[in-house]
Structure 1
Amino acid sequence: MFETLPNARRCAVLIAASLAAMGGAAPAFGQAAGQTAMPDSKAGAAKPKLWDARPASPNATINLVHLLVKQGVLTEDQAAGLIKQADDEAYIARQAAKAASTRADEAAKAANAAAAASEPKGTRHVTYVPEIVKRQLREDIKREVMAKAEQENWASPGKYPEWAQRIRFYGDIRGRYQGSFFPTGNDQFDALHFNAVNTGSPYDMASPYNLPTYNTTQNRNQIKLRARLGMEADLTSGFNAGIRIATGESNSPVSTNQTMGGGGSNFSKFGLWLDRGYLTYQAWDRNLVASVGRFDNPFWSPTDLVWHRDLGFDGFAVQGRYAVSDSFTPFGVLGAFPIFNTDFNAGTNLAQLDSKFASRDKWVFGGQVGFSSRFDSYRELRLAAAFYDFENVQGQASQPCYVQSSSDICNTDQTRPLFAQKGNTYMLLRNLQVGSWNNFGTTSLYQYYGLLQQFRPMTVSASLDLGDFHPYHIVLDGEFVWNTAFNRGLAAAGTGLPASVGITSPGVALNNRAASSDGKTVGPFNGGDKGWMARVTVGKKEIRQLGDWSVHAGYKYLESDATVDAFVDSDFGLGGTNLKGYFLGGSYGLSPNVWASLRWLSANNIGGVPYAVDVVLVDLNAKF
């Protein structure tokens, strides 16, 4: 019978039995917790204990235990044990009740489902849901929704969803004044514009006085705009993607400038070009990066002697570095980049087996190794060597070709460069045959032009950063290039030939020759295969805030065939190779991310006919 008593009564019985065993008096069942027997004098003299200050509990058993402790019948440890036992039993009872309620709910659901299955179609039931269950459901749903909102940030004020936080937009705008000033003495007649011919219809050499030429005598003042907007996205797991659009009056790889008033003029709208579009993979804490698409120059180049600073590379590249120590980090780059891919329709449309031409794909393969060494926290040296192989860029003389109109083609026309600046040495591509179809060489001499030399340049690059006056630095940059594939014998092949032969025979250097004294013969070739550049910069390494400044000065010497002229700086000498001269300039911060710059570039030809130009550039830059 004792086992069936409620917990409180069982506890009271146990306490009463304990009191009887100890000779003490216990309160009878039903006596209120506050109706205690008067303590003896000894108990009344005892000092108050922790149990004396405890408030009354709504649980009668606990109140009884407190009373017995106060009367000295139980010790505090005994009382704590009894209360813990009571709590444990109450917890077990609650869990059992909860399990029973759950089983009852499941049974009710099963019963409802069975009833619904047995009732005729169309019968409807409204299940009663207790209010306490409704509140619990609402709380569960609220917690689930808020957890998802917090994870994805779509319910947090001022925050973007998680996927949007992995996307970054950036851009820049530049307004420029460009003044081009030509001194007297420049040769206008021999400033041949080979790129104008190669990107259009072939030129009729029977009319030499109509050959396109560069402007070398008339000064020009231009206002130009460059605007670029890009996006980078973190795709997680090491993958990233990027895209950038930019202005530009043509698809030139070395300029995104748009001349105001150029093109359609009269406030015509400007075009936008895809300037970047790439996918990268980064591993080993970003020490290994693989890129594919159209991306920034993967090779480290402190100057623009060989590569224009904004040039985009098409293809794929792998960059790697490894920190041997805190002060020494070697690095390397490998890449392959297509610069021309043969059209599937290249060749004649005649129904003959050999009417289509062989592939003339052109590639640039490159590799670079180097290191950076930090002497201390403010001094750093970086040194690198690179080798590039321009595959199939050299022009090839055609097979005997019979041309009657500008629409006729020859089998090596695709070896011509489809973009060039100026400076490289050119040759005629077409081996034109003479006959009645061209009045025995007096008409219809339609020609294209190809590069005379092969190009396998090797470069050595160096940069020394002296930050003793940090945040102001002194930076010394230098670069050297040598075309290891240059063959001076090819360039000299036509030396001393009559001028008429020089302009009609394939394989003869057409430009970069000294002027002849009699005007009847082709002068000697005076181009070259080497180049170098040195520059010193003083001031802030980056212009970011109001008052930031830097100044620089340097000298550049780049012979005609040291590298491919299509990819070098487009400002110095108005672009290209076969140029030497000095440059200087400075920049000043006008506000955060806004700065102005001024540059003066003075260039002269190294070989060939006289040519010189001074270029003034005044820029207002902003980035975001």
Structure 2
Amino acid sequence: MFKNRADAEWRALPLAVSLSALICATPALVTPALGQTADEAPATPAKRTDTKRPAVSSTKPTSPNATINLVNLLVKQGVLKEEQAQALIKQAEDEAYVSRQAAKDASSKADEAAKTATAAAAAAQPAGTKHVTYVPEIVKRQLREDIKKEVMAKAQQENWASPGTYPEWAQRIRFYGDARVRYQGNYFPTGNDQAGAANYNAINTGPPYDVSSTSFGPTYDATQDRNQFRFRGRLGMEADLLYGFTAGLRIATGENSSPVSTNQTLGGGGGNFSKYGVWLDRGYINWQTWGGDLSVSAGRFDNPFWSPTDLVWYRELGFDGFAVQARHEVFEGFTPFAVAGAFPIYNTDFNAGNNLPSDPTNPDGSPPSKFPSHDKWMFGGQLGFNARVSPEYAFRFGVAFYDFDNVQGQLSSLCQVRSASDVCDTDLTRPSFAQKGNTYFPLRNILLDPPGTGNNTGGTNVGLYQYFGLVSQYRPVVASGQLDIGVFHPAHIVLDGEYVYNTAFSRSYMNAQAAIYGSLMNNRGPSPDGGTTPGPFNGGNQGWLGRVTVGNKEIRHLWDWNVHAGYKYLESDATLDAFADADFGLGGTNLKGYFLGGNVGLGENVWATLRWMSANSIAGNPYAVDVLQVDLNAKF
């Protein structure tokens, strides 16, 4: 048959002419008119003399050419003989071949003539003359088609010409976010000591506190119940930069720059429907290689250390600095992992300095001086493994060590303080953020006025304006474990546990400091004689948490559910109170108690949460609080 459509069209033309001539020349081939039967058709002028027709195959293949199909049909119906049909087809093929050859020869001769004419014209023109070659219209059309195909191919590849799609670079950017509306009830039982609930964070982030005053300084609320409606909103973006690099940003709500809360209390921040602030919550660059087994992060990113509970780290805490994470499956079901990093906690301001004489005993002969920097860092490392014993059982374990460098408070050199604007050389050793629970002491070694003069009494350890620093050093070791039982999948039973021990803690040192600073140091026991003199230091350096969760591991769909219950015990100086859970006991360390709660899915990525937390202080002044949280969550 024909090789292509062009062949079919060339061959169809002479074949159609031949067939038309054949039909016109043979009256016997005329078919009945429209609406007539075979009996009503005009009679033929001559009768056929042959009584037996040649055999024709009934399985004649169908041709892509309509004229040849018609010839074959006429043969099948007995109008044409097989030999006549083959002769017509061969004639058509011969005529088509002659036509193609003629066209080919004509095109070749035209090309040669055009080349000759162009060469002659070029020879006749002087040097430097520019020529514009005539481009036939058919060539122009072909060029337009080629350019169009090239542009459309590029458009399809980069997705900028397809409705509803984005360019390739835009498809490598992922947006995500979540929103939460919360009711929180804070209920304080009777017996709390309001006077002993000192708010060291308010003191250290504001003007220094006048310790000689008989009025109470800044304190946490420990007696009045509070009801709050709060909102949290976060919007993030992560971009795939190729070659293993990604970059991310996230903004979040928040009443202040607290590292452990992105909540915004409705009606807070001035009230009267005033607008709320938005903070930069994440900003990082990450690089992964070896199929994701090695990851390097820099900037402000999620906690790189595995921590199944919030005993040491608040679950939403962001880390500033540099971290390396590595993991590798050594055999099926067993994957060791390691994490290491360095994180700046505080970086000294360039303007930190003393505007007073550097020698308070010789104010006229000593110029003002600037303070040396007092940067604070946290260095951490963790080793652990994931083990999947079977499809129904998985176990994870890790041990971490954290070194909080330069966070311990330091007593200043002799310092003259006459107003709240005066500074001393160790003021920078105070925490720039704290919750509550750690043990604090006054940092300033104030130069006392002679008795009866100036603005203080001259008594031992008595001064006007004080800042407070951490008494202990902090180098905690944290052991973490999790057992996942999936026998009842999709419902799971998950057992979480964590233990922390501050290796830098010294009880003898803490007791010695308590003897020096008296009531200006917190976490003291009751007076041994029942008087007003505080007892010895009764804080500690250990903590643990146990929790059991039953239900779906993640709440994603309608009616997904889980419930949990646990107990927490975290002594005063087991870890820094600044980074511990902000909800249990309203934040910090030196707390013990139970908690329980649950989640239920209300739709796709929409769920409700209910939590009840009951906490009591371990050391120091009596303090207890029950917290109820009811959340409506959504993420996208």
Q: TM-score, normalised by structure 2?
A: 0.79
1:246 aligns with 2:252: yes
Match of 1:479 in 2: 498
Cα contact 1:495–1:522 (8 A) shared by 2: no
User: Structure 1 residues 150 and 114 mapped into 2: Cα distance closer, same or farther (>3 Å)?
Assistant: farther
Deviation at 1:519, TM superposition (A): 3.7
How far apart in 2 are the matches of 1:609 and 1:46?
Answer: 117
For each residue in 1:316-367, what CA deviation from the matched residue of structure 2 results, as whole angstroms up to 9, or x when unmatched? 1010100112210000101100010011111124697871111110000000
Equivalent position amino acid for 2:274 in 1: S
For each residue in 1:191-229, what CA deviation from the matched residue of structure 2 results, as whole angstroms up to 9, or x when unmatched? 111110000111111114231111100000000000000
User: Structure 1 residues 551 and 103 mapped into 2: Cα distance closer, same or farther (>3 Å)?
Assistant: farther
Cα contact 1:288–1:321 (8 A) shared by 2: yes
- 1:68-467 to structure 2, matched below 5 A, reads 111=122, 117-118=128-129, 128-349=134-355, 355-436=369-450, 437-441=454-458, 445-467=464-486
Q: Give the 3-state SS of the residue equivalent to 2:150 in structure 1.
A: helix
Q: Alignment partner for residue 532 of structure 1, among 544, 549, 559? A: 544
Match of 2:575 in 1: 563
Deviation at 1:144, TM superposition (A): 1.1
Match of 1:40 in 2: none
Runs (5+) with no aligned partner, structure 2: 1-20, 22-53, 66-82, 84-97, 358-365
Q: Percent identity?
A: 64
How far apart in 1 are the matches of 2:349 and 2:513?
Answer: 33
How far apart in 2 are the matches of 1:113 and 1:188?
Answer: 110
Deviation at 1:296, TM superposition (A): 0.3
How far apart in 1 are the matches of 2:142 and 2:554?
Answer: 59
Cα contact 2:236–2:248 (8 A) shared by 1: yes
Deviation at 1:53, TM superposition (A): 11
How far apart in 1 are the matches of 2:595 and 2:379?
Answer: 31
Q: Alignment partner for residue 525 of structure 2, among 507, 514, 521? A: 514
How far apart in 1 are the matches of 2:124 and 2:149?
Answer: 29
Cα contact 1:482–1:530 (8 A) shared by 2: yes
Deviation at 1:441, TM superposition (A): 3.2
How far apart in 1 are the matches of 2:117 and 2:218?
Answer: 93
How far apart in 1 are the matches of 2:106 and 2:565?
Answer: 86
How far apart in 2 are the matches of 1:47 and 1:173?
Answer: 81
User: Structure 1 residues 221 and 103 mapped into 2: Cα distance closer, same or farther (>3 Å)?
Assistant: farther
User: Structure 1 residues 395 and 98 mapped into 2: Cα distance closer, same or farther (>3 Å)?
Assistant: farther
Runs (5+) with no aligned partner, structure 1: 1-33, 35-44, 57-69, 71-85, 120-124, 505-509
Cα contact 1:480–1:532 (8 A) shared by 2: yes
For each residue in 1:425-480, what CA deviation from the matched residue of structure 2 results, as whole angstroms up to 9, or x when unmatched? 00110011111543443796110000000000000000000000111100000000
Q: Give the 3-state SS of the residue equivalent to 2:147 in structure 1.
A: helix
Cα contact 1:404–1:444 (8 A) shared by 2: no
Q: Give the 3-state SS of the residue equivalent to 1:134 in structure 2.
A: helix
How far apart in 1 are the matches of 2:481 and 2:591?
Answer: 21
How far apart in 2 are the matches of 1:366 and 1:428?
Answer: 29
Deviation at 1:100, TM superposition (A): 5.7
Deviation at 1:308, TM superposition (A): 0.3
How far apart in 2 are the matches of 1:276 and 1:455?
Answer: 26
- 1:43-82 to structure 2, matched below 5 A, reads none
Cα contact 2:456–2:464 (8 A) shared by 1: no
How far apart in 1 are the matches of 2:550 and 2:132?
Answer: 83
How far apart in 2 are the matches of 1:588 and 1:574?
Answer: 24
Match of 2:37 in 1: none
For each residue in 1:129-148, what CA deviation from the matched residue of structure 2 results, as whole angstroms up to 9, or x when unmatched? 32101111110111111011
How far apart in 2 are the matches of 1:105 and 1:196?
Answer: 96
User: Structure 1 residues 221 and 431 mapped into 2: Cα distance closer, same or farther (>3 Å)?
Assistant: same
How far apart in 2 are the matches of 1:469 and 1:53?
Answer: 64
User: Structure 1 residues 146 and 519 mapped into 2: Cα distance closer, same or farther (>3 Å)?
Assistant: same
Q: Give the 3-state SS of the residue equivalent to 2:300 in structure 1.
A: strand
RMSD: 3.7
User: Structure 1 residues 107 and 275 mapped into 2: Cα distance closer, same or farther (>3 Å)?
Assistant: farther
Equivalent position amino acid for 1:459 in 2: V
Equivalent position amino acid for 1:318 in 2: V
User: Structure 1 residues 253 and 93 mapped into 2: Cα distance closer, same or farther (>3 Å)?
Assistant: farther
Q: Give the 3-state SS of the residue equivalent to 1:145 in structure 2.
A: helix
Cα contact 2:519–2:534 (8 A) shared by 1: no
For each residue in 1:45-99, what CA deviation from the matched residue of structure 2 results, as whole angstroms up to 9, or x when unmatched? 9999x9999999xxxxxxxxxxxxx9xxxxxxxxxxxxxxx9xx99998998798
How far apart in 1 are the matches of 2:392 and 2:112?
Answer: 75
Equivalent position amino acid for 1:530 in 2: Q
Deviation at 1:495, TM superposition (A): 5.0
* Most deviating of 443-452 and 159-168: 443-452
For each residue in 1:4-56, what CA deviation from the matched residue of structure 2 results, as whole angstroms up to 9, or x when unmatched? xxxxxxxxxxxxxxxxxxxxxxxxxxxxxx9xxxxxxxxxx9999x9999999
How far apart in 1 are the matches of 2:109 and 2:290?
Answer: 56
Q: Give the 3-state SS of the residue equivalent to 2:342 in structure 1.
A: strand
* Most deviating of 91-100 and 470-479: 91-100
How far apart in 1 are the matches of 2:344 and 2:55?
Answer: 99
User: Structure 1 residues 385 and 353 mapped into 2: Cα distance closer, same or farther (>3 Å)?
Assistant: farther
Equivalent position amino acid for 1:514 in 2: G
Cα contact 1:395–1:429 (8 A) shared by 2: yes
1:523 aligns with 2:535: yes
Q: Alignment partner for residue 585 of structure 1, among 597, 621, 628? A: 597
* Most deviating of 158-167 and 125-134: 125-134
Q: Give the 3-state SS of the residue equivalent to 1:438 in structure 2.
A: coil
How far apart in 1 are the matches of 2:64 and 2:225?
Answer: 101
How far apart in 1 are the matches of 2:331 and 2:110?
Answer: 64
Q: Give the 3-state SS of the residue equivalent to 2:146 in structure 1.
A: helix
Deviation at 1:607, TM superposition (A): 0.7
Cα contact 2:356–2:422 (8 A) shared by 1: no
Cα contact 2:371–2:425 (8 A) shared by 1: yes
How far apart in 1 are the matches of 2:340 and 2:429?
Answer: 25
Equivalent position amino acid for 1:340 in 2: Y
How far apart in 2 are the matches of 1:595 and 1:456?
Answer: 38
Deviation at 1:158, TM superposition (A): 1.8
Q: Give the 3-state SS of the residue equivalent to 2:438 in structure 1.
A: coil
For each residue in 1:233-273, what CA deviation from the matched residue of structure 2 results, as whole angstroms up to 9, or x when unmatched? 00111100000000000000000000011111110000000
Match of 1:8 in 2: none
User: Structure 1 residues 98 and 51 mapped into 2: Cα distance closer, same or farther (>3 Å)?
Assistant: farther
How far apart in 1 are the matches of 2:218 and 2:415?
Answer: 24
